[in-house]
Structure 1
């Protein structure tokens, strides 16, 4: 299993169908691994990362790479997704890797409200530091962004109403009432995430006006009267908001994705080091 994870052998990217990347709307095309559900993993990670990076001053090409790698922990599912590793990582001798994937990479650490705030701030600082390094660290920055996004998504109200994190044993798999991955149900939390991600990625101060325009559009969609269509409305609003009228990934091919995925190496060592840096 670890041999297969050393070099991921499958990319289930939401931007490509039958090997050809399409516009952002194709991310929910038939056959996409996540087309059956409206979850944070799709537009909460991949599309949000691209948009925020562009608003923060990144050029389109590095923003595409960052977006790809921020989604990779969910799309390279067997090796790095919480549901898959939680199952096969429960075998004897694999618990350590399971812990690092579930509790560290996907922020299902089970901490109290103060631990949640510390985790978010630690990851914000780590994303900011990592994003200033060489392109060879793009996958690490993307993984850090994924962990940061999940530190906002994978929480629930505690006894005093403050946010506490889900634990690593079962995550939020049995908590459908809170819908932690639904942005429309927790838009204020999503707003905090986007604001802090922008701060972490900001080049030359970022673009507060454009950031507020993006968040205002999402906030309006999250407050539409139709409860059943609220999440779909938020999804469409986020996916339609491509700065400077860009549509990411239309010029990329399956060959590009295949090349990028092979940059991801020594994930367990990376997560071991990351865990030491998290309070």
Structure 2
């Protein structure tokens, strides 16, 4: 079996039996509107002159739209608590996409040395209570044993907004690698886009890391129907049987178990507010 480990401007880097071939996709993919992506398991045809073509893409066990990758075991989302300040709406939108993709997700809150411990604990508790595995990290310390264990025997995509210290964190965890890093602009407090393409790095036998380009915005093109948004909020799904209406979207309906849980502080207010913002954004982008 061969795997796409990198793509750049229509050229696919495919690893087959320890050798990497630069491939193009055959025309039939364009005709069938199939676009190979990093992580795909493929069949390739190798010509006598060393050129190669992707001949077939095997069925994907999962797929992400942002970034376009497939066949991952888990996604680790890295968010900084400061410099830049955390944007919970961006985090909740990204978690929504991962939930709808049914991919195991963990969260690293970075740069905890720059904020008060009470604040970092408050933010982490919101997501721990939902059921996410949370890790608090500072790249100023050398102890990274707990983070190393996260990547063992898995294909892991690492993602997060620009400037959160994603590549710096990976370099700290895997000191024998050189993931691209960039400084924070003091003027804009945004990170320079240093990771410009998607590439799978083999850490050791059985462990692979995909360092993805940082993002600053994420559209809702992965949501087809408005009811899907509540499906991406774990704490809402647990309560949906308690709502009066089966098609309750937890907004204006009476006797809504989710709204009651927010009032009783069993659901974080920030999560519910971001949910309402997602409903609004979906309606605005779809024109209703």
Structure with more relative contact order (C-alpha pairs < 8 Å, separation 6 or more): 1
TM-score, L = length of structure 1: 0.24
Higher helix share: 1
Higher strand share: 2
TM-score, L = length of structure 2: 0.24
